[in-house]
Amino acid sequence: MSTELPEIPANTNPAEILRIGIAAANGPVSLACSFSLEDVAIIDIAQKAGVAIGVFAIDTGRLNEETYEVADALLERYRLKIDWYFPRHEDVEQLERTEGLFSFRESLDKRHTCCGIRKVEPLSRALKELKGWVTGMRREQSVTRGDLKTVEQDELNNGILKINPLIDWSERQLMDYARENSIPTNRLYKQGYRSIGCAPCTRSIGPWDHVRDGRWWWENAENKECGLHRR
């Protein structure tokens, strides 16, 4: 499937990026929500701008309690419908029976296997009926995201459009937006977390560290993707 990519001028605001991307997708579009500051900001921006998008989430089975609290707060504040997707239980059972509970720390291949089961496969089901998906990715987050486009074609998921409305936002812009608009915020941010994923793969870091240093801290920076955003 090939869709003509829209031209989006520099400094286009996130709400307009959403509008342009959704129009180009010409079909159902949903936000992949991990309940990060980025994703909650996008929900808030879309609601205030009257931009209708769906919301789906992947429950890997290893999320923090604080992450579920944000999901509950979003339901209360925005009256959302969140479509939840889960790993196939037989695949998780097989993985843990044969490899143990922390095999993902043994090698990059084993970590990719775990992410593949818990994240990538559920994502493929979530995207199956969509024409586009929205992410909270930002260029400054890691070396693997420096060449992101505002709207791009996701060749790994049947060529559907991938819309990244916060692509040029800095961490400071994001924090300011969260404070000024009092959006629901994961309590772990106040404990030194700056990027939050599965509990065993995420830890707090210092303000001097890179924003993604707390994710898979035993790996090199160029490997710090879970497979949802392979390029």
Structure tokens at 198: 């599965």
CA pair distance 202, 196, nearest whole angstrom: 6
Are 194 and 205 contacting, i.e. CB atoms less than 8 angstroms apart? Answer: yes
Out of 114, 115, 198, 226, which one is annotated catalytic? 226
Report the b/e string of 29-50 with b at 16+ CB within 10 A: bbbbbbbbbbbbbbbbbbeeee
Reply yes or no on whether 33 is catalytic: no
Are 215 and 115 contacting, i.e. CB atoms less than 8 angstroms apart? Answer: no
Residues with catalytic annotation?
226
